[in-house]
């Protein structure tokens, strides 16, 4: 996106971004909305969080002797971690 049009992209906060992470993990970056791309560019902690969730998904897929976990299992772990972060 050209820099001169960046102000036209609405901003989202980190809370809204975290709610999108599971969907982002299932889609390639070139399909992300401009609002997501802008937030990741402007918010290094959310970029790190997204990278950690990708790494966690990869790890969970290989934890049990190479047995691939279902998306439901991985989603459950991600939801539990998100819930834990909200409580603490």
- The reported pLDDT for the residue numbered 51 is 93
List the domain range (segments joined by +) for residue 64: 3-87
Q: Where are the alpha helices (DSSP H) in 1-88?
A: 14-25, 34-42, 44-62, 71-87
Total domains in the chain come to 1
- Give pLDDT tens digits for 16-65: 998 888 888 888 888 888 889 999 999 999 999 999 988 888 887 777 66
- The reported pLDDT for the residue numbered 1 is 47
- The reported pLDDT for the residue numbered 66 is 65
Band of the pLDDT at 5, cuts 50, 70, 90?
A: low
Higher pLDDT, residue 70 or 14: 14
């Amino acid at each position: 996106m050209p820099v001169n049009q960046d102000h036209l992209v609405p901003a989202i906060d980190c809370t809204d971004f975290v709610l999108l992470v599971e969907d982002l993990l299932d889609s390639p970056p070139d399909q992300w909305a401009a609002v997501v791309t802008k937030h990741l560019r402007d918010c290094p902690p959310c970029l790190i969080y997204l990278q950690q969730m990708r790494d966690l998904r990869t790890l969970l897929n290989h934890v049990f002797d190479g047995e691939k976990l279902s998306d439901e299992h991985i989603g459950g772990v991600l939801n539990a971690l998100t819930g834990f972060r909200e409580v603490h």
